Structure 1
Amino acid sequence: MSSTPRRALRRAVLGALVASVALTGCAATLIEGVATPEAGARADVAPADFPIIGAADDDVDRGARNALADLNTYWGEQFPETFGQEFTPLTGGYFSVDPDDLDPARYPNGQIGCGQEIEAVTGNAFYCSSEPGEPGGDAIQYDRAFLGELADGYGRFIPALVMAHEFGHAVQGRVGYPVERSINVETQADCFAGAWTAWVASGAAPHNSIRPGELDDVLRGYLLLRDPVGTGTREEQAHGSYFDRVSAFQQGFDDGPVACRDEFGATRPFTQQQFQSDQDLLSGGNASYPETVGTIMPEGLAQYWTATLQARGVTFEPPALQPFSGRAPECDGEQPDTDLVYCPADRSVGFDETDLTQPVYASEEGGDYAVVTAVAIPYGLAVRDQLGLSTEGPDAVRSAVCLAGAFTQGVRNGETTVVISPGDVDESVSFLLESSGDPSVLGDSGLTGFQLVDVFRGGVFEGLPACDIGA
């Protein structure tokens, strides 16, 4: 890679990923946590047993009630162990609002929590903790039409996820915020939501269940809930990038509420960032496709892995990158039928521009770093090969996905002349999620999108030690 100047990996606008990608001989191991097989609630909570002011007899309000009841059960159990004190139920109640039928007569004094007008929750859901002397604090309220739209677009568990996030703020209201910065507060609430979801996935929740594939929908839902690309981490209402919010949720899912309590202080790293120039803002932060595949990607990968393996006493020979269209070059006398190929015989990495990298680059959810992430996976197999490790089977592919995350960590730490731009790592999440369900993408890996993102996240945060390549 040329040493100057530092090149920016810019991003495109998000939308729907349509590319098809595959790796030969790929699979990966499961993460902790097994989602329960049943769909929907196990048994609905009776309205009289858990009143929600303004609620209707519909799926959204029933789901919210079931989630809130189980959240009270979960935090009643976890709060003493996590925070050393008993959990006190919310004193201000719960409020459901239909923005198309704003009837003040359904609400005390025509108001929802913290003495707010019912219109205040339109298109939203929130927890409020009132200032001293203000009425009706310690309450959760939600727009049920908004939750219904989320469920229609991202799966029936998303309203429960929203309730879990807002309940996370109620937890904070009892123990204090990790740091007085919005992005830390919001992602910690995502983490608390992840911890509760793992409890649901374990089968312990009386009124909720979640299947493995629905965890992918949960992560997709965060795409809608992320901040606009280019939002700064210190903005007053910052909630986090797609990657930041997904990572926080997965940390809670994997490690539980104690990790949520301890790991969201002032030093927590975030990928969210502002655009640094008007040019990046106008371009959406996206490098051209020719620059991405012709210069940025090959130079960045070669530079990072040459230096990284040299530090381990290994001389690394960067594999040749071979773009192709529809038909991969032969590998050791055989014809690969996949869009991503690592060929040990000649140590080359191939990628199908027609069926993979060009569509990924042009898609709304993709862009330049989605392309880099895709090719970084078979490149990771080349790294394993030169370390004398297997390049086939579930463990090899899991490791390669993790190594793609470790490369991303290196880029973010300034170890290459490539520069991460706002939204780039969000593209990695979208690519992995949308690739997981198609066997032509990562083969018969047995991994859900949730698990692929979790493995990638391990590389981003922990680097090489997470990637099973030895000491």
Structure 2
Amino acid sequence: MPRRRGTRLLAALVAVLATGVLTGCGVVVLEPPRSSGPGPETVPGGNSPVVGATAEEVDVLASDALADLEVFWAGELPEVFGTAFQPLQGGYFSVDPGDLDPRQYPDGVGCGADPREVEDNAFYCLDGQRPNSDSITYDRAFLAELASGYGRFLPALVMAHEFGHAVQGRVGAPSASIAIETQADCLAGAWTAWVAAGNAERSEMEEADLDDLLRGYFLLRDPVGTGTAQQSAHGSYFDRVSAFQEGFDAGAVACRDEFGPERVFTQSQFTRDDDFRRQGNLPYDQLVSLVDSALPAFWERVFAEDFGGRFDAPPLEPFAGRAPGCAPADRDLVYCADGNVVGFDEGLTREAYRLGDFAVATAISIPYALGARDQLGLDPADPDAIRSAVCLTGWFSAEVNRGAVPGTEVSPGDIDESVLFLLTYGVEEQVLGAAQLSGFQLVDVFRGGFVEGAAACDVAA
């Protein structure tokens, strides 16, 4: 059967091949592509022609990305993986399932599939027994729709992810589906950093595009409650964003080395009926009460174990519209060194609760971490203090995720809600705007604390 790797776009169901196999998230690519003679005729710029492509912007963006991906991986594969880059033998296919001319695809699209099967999707396919093996196919109408809502770079990101599967077809891939998919996200991140640095001949991006990309990844996550062992698992929102940022920050070497069986994923299944009914969310008041006990429990332990001191837990003081007099009145999240108080505007936290209960925990944890820094003798007004507090919130979240904070139990999707909070509210001036960080940077700092702990957070541990 065709060996295909697909991008989950929205919650769209992938069509069924004539063999009856779901194909958008298919069997892992294990065998390297075998050359059957000269590849497809190339065009100036080094990329193979995209069959079915039009002059529409989405096809231009996708075609430009594919050309730049070929250039990037021609350099990276020998340097990082020790093998020469072999262009995709089956080429590339653009399809609009709603306006289809079958004559453009006499042998079908990837692995001979019916072009209509790519609706709301994109996939890489490798099956040497079928035509057009070792190829990428995409639904241009749907990519255009996504680009209209999440930035014009999104079609390029989808191409980069599918090209990551082509790289796996050449150098090997992890065994689990979730590791395969997130490694492809990492490989896409490595290429995106190369583009952002101005190295691409055709593709370009601006800093604001990165925030749009991370928001777009929310559409690509698995449904909350999907298990990591499922055959088609792609990863939670945090898993996928984290993998992309890892490639962006550390390059393809990290993608090669960091996706072994020991890698931690936040995706999980619901284990209790009541948690499933609530979709992992506690009632607001119960959640705030839990946070009020969980944060002291975490910081008292780490002060004793890592910092050799005693932690004086600050009380939580919710307010409505105007911060306490010890802080600027227009701030939604505050720490008052005078009195050792953490305050939060319930207008913010009740609105953030719509993202999920852990969005509220994330919000309150950030000023609480400023209080912890203050007790470590670090100035809470330092320009980098908020960056450090976001990182420490990532550390706290990781400890909750692994069950190390008494009285807490992580639910599926919780850590995704941290990402959503930072992208949605963290960039607002009255929330974390004083840090002067983009949403992408805030999530990256949070990820550093989640993965590395205090060592990433500019505190002496």
TM-score, structure 1 normalization: 0.87
In structure 2, the partner of 1:197 is 192
Residue range with higher mean Cα deviation, 112-121 or 370-379: 112-121
Aligned to 2:154: 158
Residue 113 (structure 1) aligns with: 110
Please state how far the C-alpha of 1:209 moved relative to its aligned partner. Answer: 1.0
1:419 aligns to what SS in structure 2? coil
1:257 aligns with 2:252: yes
Equivalent residue, structure 2, for 1:37 = none
Contact 2:394–2:449, Cα closer than 8 Å, also in 1: yes
- Partner of residue 187 from structure 1, selected from 165, 178, 182: 182
Q: Is 1:358 the counterpart of 2:359 in the alignment?
A: no
Match of 1:78, SS state, is helix
374-383 vs 427-436, greater mean Cα deviation: 427-436
2:39 aligned residue = none
**3-state SS of paired residue (1:394):** coil
Contact preservation (8 Å) 2:227, 2:269: yes
- Check 1:212–1:279 CA distance in 2 against 1; reply closer, same or farther (3 A cut): same
Letter in structure 2 aligned against 1:148: A
Specify which of 297, 303, 306 is matched with residue 303 of structure 1: 297
Aligned residue for 2:15?
none
Correspondence 1:39-50 to 2 at 5 A = 50=48
Quickly say closer, same or farther: Cα 1:411–1:50, change in 2 above 3 A: same
1:221-232 mapped onto 2 (5 Å cutoff)? 221-232=216-227
Residue 449 of structure 2 is aligned to residue 459 of structure 1: yes
SS in 2 for 1:304: helix
| 2: CA distance, partners of 1:387 / 1:159 | 46
Looking at structure 2, the residues matched to 378 and 46 of structure 1 have their Cα atoms a distance apart, in angstroms, of 54
Shift of 1:133: 2.6
Give distance in 1, aligned partners of 2:303 and 2:330: 30
TM-superposed deviation, 1:337: 2.5
Q: Secondary structure at the match of 1:140?
A: strand
**Percent sequence identity over matched residues?**
58
In 1, Cα distance between the equivalents of 2:343 and 2:428? 19
Q: How does 1:303-382 map to 2 (within 5 A)?
A: 303-311=297-305, 312-331=307-326, 336-353=329-346, 355-361=347-353, 363=354, 366-382=355-371
The Cα shift of 1:46 comes to 6.5
Gaps of 5+ in 2: 1-9, 11-42
SS at match of 1:273: coil
| Amino acid in the other structure paired with 2:130 | E
Aligned ranges 1:42-61 → 2 under 5 Å = 50-61=48-59
TM-superposed CA distance for 1:48, in Å, is: 10
Alignment of 1:435-450 (within 5 A): 435-450=425-440
Q: What is the one-letter code of the residue matched to 1:308?
A: V
Task: State the SS of the aligned residue for 1:469.
Answer: coil
My pick for the range that moved more, 392-401 or 217-226, is 392-401
Question: For residue 93 of structure 2, what is the amino acid of its counterpart?
Answer: F
Q: CA deviation at 1:118?
A: 1.0
> Which residue number in structure 2 is paired with residue 122 of structure 1?
119
Q: Which runs of 4+ in 1 moved over 4 A?
A: 45-49
Give 1:49 shift: 6.2
CA contact (8 A) 2:45 2:67 kept: no
Matched residue SS, 2:316:
strand
CA distance in 1, matches of 2:44, 2:313: 63
Q: For 2:400 and 2:375, how far apart are their aligned partners in 1?
A: 21
Distance 1:48 1:174, change over 3 A: closer
Greater Cα offset, 433-442 or 394-403:
433-442
- Deviation string 1:379-407 (CA, Å, 9 cap, x unpaired) is 00000000011101331111000000010
**One of 99, 102, 113 as aligned partner of 1:101:** 99
Q: Report the Cα distance in structure 1 between the residues aligned to 2:129 and 2:241, rounded to whole angstroms.
A: 37
Displacement of 1:279: 1.4
RMSD of aligned Cα (Å): 1.5
Which residue does 2:16 correspond to in 1?
none
1:395 and 2:391 aligned? no
CA contact (8 A) 2:388 2:458 kept: yes
Distance 2:328 2:48 in 1: 62
Q: Which residue of 2 aligns with 1:4?
A: none
Q: 1:271 to 1:226 in 2, by over 3 A?
A: same
TM-score by length of 2: 0.88
Task: Judge conservation of contact 2:449–2:457 (CA < 8 Å) in 1.
Answer: yes
> What is the match of residue 36 of structure 2?
none
1:384 to 2:346 alignment? no
Q: Mapping of 1:60-79 within 5 angstroms?
A: 60-79=58-77
CA contact (8 A) 2:239 2:265 kept: yes
Q: Which has the higher contact order (CA 8 A, sep 6+)?
A: 1
Q: How much has 1:50 moved relative to structure 2?
A: 3.8
